[in-house]
Amino acid sequence: MTSFVLKVIAMISMLFDHFGDACFKSISWMNLIGRFAFPIFAFQISEGYIHTKNLKKYFLRLLLFALISQIPFTLFLSTYTQGFAVNIFATLFVGLFAIFTYDKICSCKLHLIKNEKANSYISKIIGFLFVILLGLFAEVCHFDYGFFGIAIIFLFYLFKNNKLAMVISYITLCILKYGIQIISYGFNVWYVFLAIFTILPIIFICLYNGKQGRKIKYLLYFFYPVHLVILYFLFR
């Protein structure tokens, strides 16, 4: 399965998710299909970090579309809620920054520690802590998918060479995410279904063959704000 196929699945899934939000104003079967989108986008960020030829342009592109998309996203949210959130491109930007920062911290040598293994462990711990701080920042500031979003972007990168660890850590995070919601808001069978459908995209991710396939980079970027604006005018 190529990157192109994954992106098409994610875009279709996202359309179902947002259409369901605007149409039904509450959780529906369309939101279950919609759970496929973000995990695939998160995986693509980790792959993008590894394979991009220009990381600076990658950061700027995500930041630019985060700024462009915020008004359409806010308008779209107004069709079914009074709440505020920061759009998904901002979450992807912070997730990419988490990976980048972790790598930079891990490559730093602590001059006060002469033992190389201890140096490596301490650098990784500091890197993990910084990623956690970024996740908490995303959660507190109401970024779409919050801490969970940053965590899975990072874990997809961390376990890029170990599919078993990737699958186990991803499933564990999904169970924790919806388990916390059940504890916080009480049991609702929808949380069980949402957890299952959030876990399912790992199957597609594991089938990824490392090939790009057809290029649709800018279609993906523009699709997000454009479809949000269309949905706003349809359901306002």
- Reported as a single tens digit per residue, the pLDDT across 60-72 is 999 999 999 999 9
pLDDT digit string (tens) for 76-108?
Answer: 999 998 889 999 999 999 999 999 999 999 887
pTM for this prediction: 0.94
Q: Burial code of 77-113, b = ≥16 C-beta within 10 A, e = fewer?
A: bebbeeeebbbbbbbbbbbbbbbebbeebeeeeeeee
Cα angle value 127/133/134 (rounded, 5°) = 90
- Name the more confident of 15 and 213: 15
User: Hey, where are the domains in the chain?
Assistant: 3-235
The span from the CA of 110 to the CA of 216, in Å, is 42
Q: State the Rg of the chain over Cα.
A: 18
- Which amino acid, 42? A
The Cβ of residue 210 has, within 10 Å, a number of other Cβ atoms equal to 9
Residue 13 DSSP code: H
Which helix or strand (DSSP H or E) is residue 19 part of? helix 3-24
